[in-house]
């Protein structure tokens, strides 16, 4: 049986470069791959899958939260490669899982595990629940040589712990950091307290 893979890493861990290399390897062997990405990720153009190293490719399929995939359009292909998988809806992840059964293709998803508050994205959570293989794409902290674990969102050079979960940006907005430097710039306790306060406000407004 073909497998569902989740290859996760922080910002700047070369996930997209890895995806493009895998696509190249398949194609150099005369095999066909489908490249898929969420439509909302338009940082490099609506249908572009681009790495910070300068390599890019055109996505074959753009998906929205409510997209229904037709298994028939995947017939004759050898692999499905998914960029920015954290932005997928749980339902789309489940559809990708089905593609490993019918028509039986390996599906390799690349994306962030957690957001700037260290919380799982819904798509990433479902991938962790359903994937056959979970692999970490590693990179060092921007401020030291420890392994980066978290994505630090920055504003005017300072770490921030508030805002919408999804906010597109690159190196000017995010940095891969270890736990020590995340705590120094945002504070793990502050993030937890902020979430607690937000939940209290939401409960009060619904009362």
pLDDT in tens, the chain (207 residues): 799 999 999 999 999 999 999 999 999 999 999 999 999 988 878 899 988 778 889 999 999 999 999 999 999 999 999 999 999 999 999 999 999 999 999 999 999 999 999 999 999 999 999 999 999 999 999 999 999 999 999 888 788 888 889 887 767 789 999 999 999 999 887 676 654 444 443 444 444
pLDDT for 197 equals 40
**Cβ neighbours around 103 below 10 Å, total:** 15
Mutual orientation of helices 90-99 and 122-130 as an angle, nearest 10°? 30
Q: Per the residue annotation, which of 84, 94, 167, 172 is the catalytic one?
A: 84
* Rounded-to-integer distance, Cα 204 and Cα 207, Å: 5
Spell out the domains of the chain, with CATH numbers in brackets: 4-206 (3.40.50.300)
* Rounded-to-integer distance, Cα 180 and Cα 149, Å: 10
Helix (H) or strand (E) holding 176: strand 174-177
* 84 classed as catalytic: yes
pLDDT for 202 equals 40
* Rounded-to-integer distance, Cα 116 and Cα 113, Å: 10
- Do 6 and 170 touch, CB atoms closer than 8 A? no
Q: What angle do CA 56, 61, 64 make, to 5 degrees?
A: 115
Q: For the stretch 18-43, what's the b/e string if a residue is b when 16 or more beta carbons lie within 10 angstroms of its beta carbon?
A: bbbebbeebeeeeeebbbbbbeebee
Tokens of 121: 């994205």
């Amino acid at each position: 049986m073909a497998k569902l893979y989740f290859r996760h890493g922080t910002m700047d861990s070369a996930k997209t470069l890895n995806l493009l290399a895998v696509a190249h390897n398949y194609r150099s062997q005369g095999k066909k791959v489908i490249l898929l990405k969420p439509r909302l990720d338009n940082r490099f153009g609506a249908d572009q899958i681009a790495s910070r190293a300068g390599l890019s490719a055109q996505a074959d399929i753009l998906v929205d939260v409510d997209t229904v995939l037709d298994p028939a359009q995947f017939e004759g292909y050898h692999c499905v490669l998914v960029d920015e998988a954290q932005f997928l809806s749980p339902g789309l992840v489940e559809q990708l899982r089905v593609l490993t059964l019918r028509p039986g293709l390996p599906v390799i998803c690349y994306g962030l595990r957690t957001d700037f508050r260290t919380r799982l994205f819904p798509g990433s959570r479902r991938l962790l629940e359903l994937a056959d293989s979970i692999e970490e794409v590693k990179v060092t902290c921007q401020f030291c040589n420890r392994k980066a674990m978290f994505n630090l969102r920055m504003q005017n050079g300072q770490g921030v712990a508030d805002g919408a979960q999804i906010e597109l940006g690159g190196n000017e907005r995010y940095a891969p950091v270890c736990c020590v430097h995340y705590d120094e710039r945002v504070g793990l306790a502050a993030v937890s307290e902020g979430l607690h306060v937000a939940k209290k406000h939401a409960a009060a407004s619904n009362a």
